[in-house]
Chain A
Amino acid sequence: MDQTALRSIPRRRFLRAAAGAGAGMASWLALRKAPAYAQKRELTFLSWNHFVPAADDELRKQAEAFGKANNCTVRVDTMAHLQMPAKIAAEAQSQSGHDMYRTASADPFLYENLLIPMDDLVEKLGKQGGGWYPFAAESCQTKSGWKAIPWFWVSFPGTYNMAHFKKAGFEQPPKTWDELLKMGKVLKKQGNPVGIAISHCSDAHSTYWSVSWSYGAKVLEADGKTPAISSEKTAQVIEWYKELYKDAMEPEVLSWDDAGNNRFLLSGKGSWIHNPVSPYNSALANKQPIADDINHHNSPAGPAGTHSAPPNLSLGIWKFSKNQQLAKEFIAYLFQKQNFDAWIVASNAFNHPPLKNLADHPIWARNPKFAMLPKEAEYGHPRGWPAKPNEAVQRIDDNYVMADMVAKAVNGMPTKRAMDWAQEQVALAVKGQLKVG
């Protein structure tokens, strides 16, 4: 005991001396780093695990280069896309975490009050890049200004196996949803059904929005708060789904996650899916011979034209971030033409730029299987359209309302009842939104 008491005296003296040496020295000791490093800023960025991992490698490479040029470090953390909403909610709630993050769809509306305005940067980049695609821009324009910068969008074309179509006697892929149904019936009999997810996954939303708009159906009125599901048009969409499910698909579509349809096509069983180009890219990367048979075509049309709901990803900066200016500079750096181009190449045409000038990349024109992809931008709308994106729309997707409505109907619930159920769920989502606003 006495020994400890004795030992503690010099320590105390030492500490007093150290304190006298100044606070700078103390922090230097605590950090165990040379002073120059201690001053270095760190920018942190939360993104997703890209479906084409090489794109994340390229992003990290650019982050490092930016860090070197600006005497800072940029840390890019990535995580599974389905886990991001919870992580982001936790950061919003605790007011701490990363400086900036990858937002999805109407996220900027969900966290409107917690993200900083981006109007200045949006204007600068927009001018440089020939303007933003409206569907990408709208998902960032809240009542209180731009709360995020459109980063990239993902085209959602028809993806099909040419060999199966040829065997069934079809030279061309379906141009309309109705044609898909007719061809699907033949293809299913041949043992190669088509597949659209009707389950708790994000592909299920993307396709539903697309089909419903093509038939002229709506989920919300343009005012953004009146539910508009119950209609003759929606009934038509549900009937179409029912028939497709019964005669052209197999029940497995009810169990799919976002990779379900990719596996379905790559296994050689499936003949057609509605999905980004990731199955083709992964077949190429894994040198699967099926890559030769896979091709893409523009999303099918309906009586009301062609419409598509491409997943739309943006970049937001938290209000609690201490590196807001640095984050903006980093975003501007990512949008420099040579950087964005390199990133498109790394993703093998998966990432589409939201700026019109950047879309002019040879990667699409060069590969005939990609040539039609940029055209998808013409069909794109943010989810919720004709309403502007808002939190209610985000909540409808998060709660899988549309997928569940279709799932109920294909499982035997009368169309009208399924529709009424969804109408009620949409009303609840809107009610939540009005409380927040």
Chain B
Amino acid sequence: MAVGPRVLEATGLPGPGRLSRLREWWEQEHVFGYGLIVPALVLLATLVAFPFGMAIYFSLSDYWVGSPGGWVGLQNYRDILANETFRQTIQNSFVFTGIALSFKIVLGVWLAMLLARNLPLKRVIRGVVLLPFVIPTALSTLAWLWMFDSLYSVVNWTAIRLHLMSAPGPNWLGQSTYAMAAVIIVNVWRGLPFFAITVLAGLMAVPREYQEAAEVDGAGSWSRFWHVTLPLIKPVLAVVILFSTIFTFGDFNIVQVLTRGGPINTTHLFATLAYQVGLQGGNLGQGAAISLFIFPLLALVVFFQLRYIRKE
């Protein structure tokens, strides 16, 4: 603890320097407590709040790279809504997020249940499952790019050899439906570990007694899952779904690496279109409007979901 000036006075030592007075001030609870929060606040303000505020400002002005423009109100939003490519992007985003999220929920819970069992090499398996989540997305997606390549697709090669497809197999990144399927597959592959591991944590917290009691009452494995396990992991699941919804809507890497929004803009998401319009085309105002477009909706989702979680 600090030695106050009175102690020094009493012991007859020389008076306190400026430094120790400062230290005393610093160690008061209300100063010290806020002092500890300040770095986090500064980080949030400079790296989150400021860019966010700038994005809102950009989206409401006629801002081009290197040449600021005047205030135009909601004109950018009206312009993008009038653009067919953007309307296509809205549709893509909902299809992409809806399908990818559904797969992640079902497969994630399923994978978590598997991992919760007492498997041999449990720790190794859990570690391996996390791999897709750990590898930088841009790199792992490059591997997928080769797997979906029109000439050298290992997916098609294998399926054709196994007589599951007729040669030459689907053109993964060149046809709209397949391209959407491809980006969804990679997104599910990448997002699944996050789902599984978080749900697993929720599962571990479910007391065994509930399961045993249900078993004694004669409940089958399905009804034990539906009536006991699922209600208990619901809060965890809700949080994971919330995060995943936001991440999936905001995905950029996978689409940028695999298709750059093609073919014919059928895999563009908000982030990739915003990049194309705002950074490549230089129209920062519209780019910002595109990336912010989904914000009000996501904010509503977050609001209701958090309220639901709190109630639970």
Contacts and interface: CB of A to CB of B under 8 A. Distances in A.
Interface in B113-153: 148-152
B96 interface: no
A254 B171 contact: yes
A423 to B, nearest CB: 12
Nearest to B178: A255
B281 interface: yes
B195 interface: no
Interface in A27-41: none
Contact of A93 (B66, B151, B260): B66
Given A264-B151, A435-B62, A436-B67, A1 B174 contact: no
B265 interface: yes
Contact of A8 (B2, B19, B67, B151): B19
B179 A255 contact: yes
Interface string A195-226: 00001110000000000000000000000000
Q: Which among A82, A113, A399, A407 has the highest number of chain B CB atoms within 10 Å?
A: A399
A252 interface: yes
A83 to B, nearest CB: 10
Interface string A158-172: 000000000000000
B166 interface: no
Contacts of A250: 150, 168, 171
Interface string A111-124: 10110000000000
A399 B150 contact: no
Contacts of A408: 264
Contact of B150 (A92, A95, A252, A425): A252
B262 A1 contact: no
Contacts of A257: 260
Contacts of A399: 85, 276-277, 280-281
Contacts of B260: 82, 200-201, 257
A263 B151 contact: yes
Nearest to B287: A89
A225 B1 CA distance: 75
Given A1-B2, A395-B281, A399-B281, A254 B276 contact: no
Contact of A398 (B64, B176, B265, B280): B280
Q: Which among A200, A251, A408 has the highest number of chain B CB atoms within 10 Å?
A: A200
Q: Which among B260, B280, B284 has the highest number of chain A CB atoms within 10 Å?
A: B280
Contacts of B84: 421, 424
Given A428-B83, A435-B69, A404 B179 contact: no
Nearest to A403: B262
Contacts of B19: 5, 8
A414 interface: no
B3 interface: yes
Contact of A432 (B174, B275, B283): B283
A253 B23 CA distance: 70
Question: What is the predominant secondary structure among interface residues of chain B facing chain A?
Answer: loop
B20 A5 contact: yes
Contacts of A5: 17, 19-20
Interface in A96-139: 110-111, 113-114
B282 A110 contact: yes
A275 to B, nearest CB: 16
A269 interface: yes
B173 A255 contact: yes
Contacts of A85: 279-280
A113 B69 CA distance: 14
A432 B69 CA distance: 12
A261 B263 CA distance: 16
A387 B175 CA distance: 34
A411 interface: yes
B64 A1 contact: no
Contact of B281 (A256, A264, A269, A398): A398
Contacts of A90: 279
Nearest to A411: B264
B259 interface: yes
Interface in B178-225: 179
Contact of B20 (A1, A254, A256): A1
Interface in A249-279: 250-257, 260, 263-264, 267, 269
A255 B150 contact: yes
A428 B80 CA distance: 10
Nearest to A407: B264
Contacts of B17: 5
Interface in B51-103: 62, 64-67, 69, 79, 83-85
A391 interface: yes
A255 B174 contact: yes
14 contacts: A1-B20, A8-B19, A85-B279, A86-B279, A93-B65, A93-B66, A111-B66, A256-B174, A264-B151, A398-B280, A407-B264, A428-B79, A428-B83, A435-B62
Given A95-B66, A400-B262, 5 more contacts: A82-B260, A255-B259, A264-B151, A391-B282, A404-B264
Interface of A: 1, 5, 8, 82, 85-86, 89-90, 92-93, 95, 110-111, 113-114, 199-201, 250-257, 260, 263-264, 267, 269, 391, 394-395, 398-400, 404, 407-408, 411, 421, 424-425, 428, 432, 435-436
Which 3 pairs show the lowest CB-CB distances between chains A and B?
A: A252-B150, A255-B174, A254-B174
